[in-house]
């Protein structure tokens, strides 16, 4: 087994990380100061406020934790600082490329436009790239519980940022009550606008949401853990070269799986489904990528050469440019040979 230090040093690629769920306590304090919001004085109390305990009920319960952070992300300055903060954390665990996602519609409460919100996050990502050398791309999340019209407006406002830092789109939020069929019109609009799409699907015991997304031409699935036990579906995903953005700690917390033993890693690997390892929300889930890798090696016996494969799956499925892809593949191969 690799030590935590060795895991931390390995170059990594992450495809599934929410900006609003991944802020350091230091950044949260700074943002609260900027928004004139009072926070608990002790870091322990603050962590309890912004992270989930183990005994939450489900995804909707999990999503309530974002209510503390979102009021702090209502200005361009705040969003820029937040994006910079997430990349700073990624640099500390040698992430070479990351796709960071957020919902612009959640940052318009105080009059910021969707375009201004996106521009601010991209500015923070670019500044951090210059300072820390971590390549990144932005994904905009539409929310499943919003109307198709609202999501379509968001994607239209986002589209001009493609090639300027924006690399794709997503749907997050309440998957159980708003299945893929309901959001299909907005997905199609995004695709017509040329926005590469990933989708939270198969997170809330709804394997069919993955299949519905696959039928729409989508090849990246946030979580996809509900495919466990559905061998036919797994084979279809594998044949279509689909990739799962798996987030173990988050899935245990939201009860997407009952326990570690029922996490379908062996099954997915046996059926050649490509998987990637991600945090989902560093702060809300109280994790980081190194911790996730450690869980994967401890509980599923994933080896160093499999970690390389997982990272190659990620960079090959990433919505980055060919130049970045080549550079990151080189970094991965060099890093795994050396470490």
For the question of residue 203 being annotated catalytic, the response is: yes
Nearer to ligand NOS, 14 or 20 (CB): 20
Angle (CA) 21 99 81, round 5°: 55
Residue of 21, 165, 224, 242 that binds ligand NOS (CB under 6 A): 21
230 in a known ligand binding site: no
Would you count residue 103 as binding ligand NOS (CB under 6 A)? Answer: yes
CB-closest chain residue to ligand NOS: 172
Per partner kind, with CB cut-offs from 5 to 8 A, the member of Zn ion, ligand NOS, none near residue 103 is ligand NOS
The contact mask relative to ligand NOS for 203-242 (x = CB under 6 A, - = no) is x---------------------------------------
Residue 175 within binding range of Zn ion, rule CB under 5 A: no
Instruction: Tell me, residue by residue from 169 to 208, as one string, x for binding to ligand NOS by CB under 6 A and - for no binding.
Output: ---xx--------------------------x--x-----
Contact flag: residue 83 with ligand NOS (CB under 6 A): no
> Per the residue annotation, which of 14, 135, 203, 245 is the catalytic one?
203
- Decide whether 32 or 68 has the Cβ nearer to Zn ion: 68
Minimum gap (Å) between residue 52 Cβ and ligand NOS: 11
What are the residues facing 17 on neighbouring strands? 100, 280
Nearer to ligand NOS, 18 or 230 (CB): 18
Out of 80, 280, 292, 294, name the contact with Zn ion by CB under 5 A.
280
- Residue numbers belonging to the annotated binding site for substrate: 18, 20, 173
- Residue numbers belonging to the annotated binding site for Zn(2+): 16, 18, 200, 280
User: What amino acid positions are annotated as catalytic residues?
Assistant: 203
């Amino acid at each position: 087994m690799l030590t935590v230090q060795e895991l931390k040093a390995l170059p990594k690629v992450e495809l599934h990380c929410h900006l609003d769920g991944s802020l350091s306590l230091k950044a949260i304090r700074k943002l609260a100061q900027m928004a004139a919001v009072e926070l608990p004085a002790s870091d322990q109390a603050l962590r309890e406020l912004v992270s989930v305990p183990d005994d939450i009920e489900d995804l909707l319960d999990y999503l309530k934790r974002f209510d503390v952070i979102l009021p702090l992300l209502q200005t361009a300055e705040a969003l820029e600082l937040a994006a910079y903060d997430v990349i700073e954390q990624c640099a500390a665990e040698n992430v070479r490329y990351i796709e960071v996602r957020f919902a612009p519609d959640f940052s318009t409460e105080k009059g910021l436009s969707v375009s201004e919100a996106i521009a601010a996050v991209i500015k923070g990502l670019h500044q951090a790239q210059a300072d820390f050398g971590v390549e990144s791309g932005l994904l905009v999340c539409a929310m499943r519980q919003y109307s198709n019209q609202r999501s379509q407006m968001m994607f239209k406002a986002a589209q001009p940022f493609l090639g300027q830092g924006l690399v794709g789109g997503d749907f997050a939020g309440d998957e159980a009550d708003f299945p893929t069929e309901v959001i299909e019109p907005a997905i199609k609009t995004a695709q017509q606008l040329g926005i590469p799409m990933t989708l939270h699907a198969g997170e809330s015991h709804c394997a069919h949401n993955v299949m519905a997304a696959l039928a729409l031409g989508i090849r990246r699935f946030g979580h996809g853990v509900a495919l466990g036990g559905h061998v036919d579906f797994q084979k279809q995903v594998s044949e279509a070269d689909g990739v799962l953005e798996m987030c173990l700690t988050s899935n245990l917390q939201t009860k997407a799986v009952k326990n570690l033993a029922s996490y379908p890693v062996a099954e997915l690997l046996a059926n050649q489904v490509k998987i990637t390892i991600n945090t989902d929300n560093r702060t809300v889930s109280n994790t980081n990528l190194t911790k996730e890798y450690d869980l994967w090696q401890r509980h599923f016996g994933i080896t160093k050469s499999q970690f390389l494969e997982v990272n190659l799956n990620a960079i090959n499925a990433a919505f980055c440019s060919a130049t970045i892809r080549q550079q990151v593949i080189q970094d991965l191969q060099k890093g795994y040979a050396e470490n």
